Amino acid sequence: MTATRTAPAGLVGQLARFIAVGVLSAIVDLGVYQLLLHLGVWVHAAKAISFILGTTTAYLLNRRFTFTTAAGGKRRFAGFVALYATTFAINVGVNALALAVLPVMPARYTVAWVIAQGTATAINFVMLRTVVFRA
């Protein structure tokens, strides 16, 4: 017996899946960020690269498990690109701003990453749900 979806996913279930996908994507993002910093890559380039890899992970998993809709195709992907181009700039910018204002401390880069990631995540959920993957 195959399961079929007869109604759109409820907000709570959708949010739970979004959070699970987000945690996995954040692990990819933070892991790549820390690795690149460890390898001596310039901090803003490391953030840009890690964001792109984490975002790609999030898009693919959210498309499959969180925001499952039948239609979309090229238009949906164009919406994704527009959204993530915007959140890319916000994420890298907030990370740079946080690094500029945070005191020197052992976890400074990780704290800046968390602030930037939190900002981008809030924007992404609302925009993915209402624009990119709307039913």
pLDDT at 72: 59
- Rounded-to-integer distance, Cα 55 and Cα 74, Å: 18
* Residue range 43-96, pLDDT digits in tens: 999 999 998 999 889 888 887 888 765 555 677 777 778 888 888 899 999 999
Give the global pTM. Answer: 0.72
Q: What's the chain's length in residues? A: 135
* Amino acid identity for residue 128 in this structure: L
**Mean pLDDT of all residues belonging to the chain:** 84
pLDDT at 4: 45
- Number of Cβ within a 10 Å radius of residue 18: 22
* Residue range 6-29, pLDDT digits in tens: 445 477 888 888 889 989 999 999
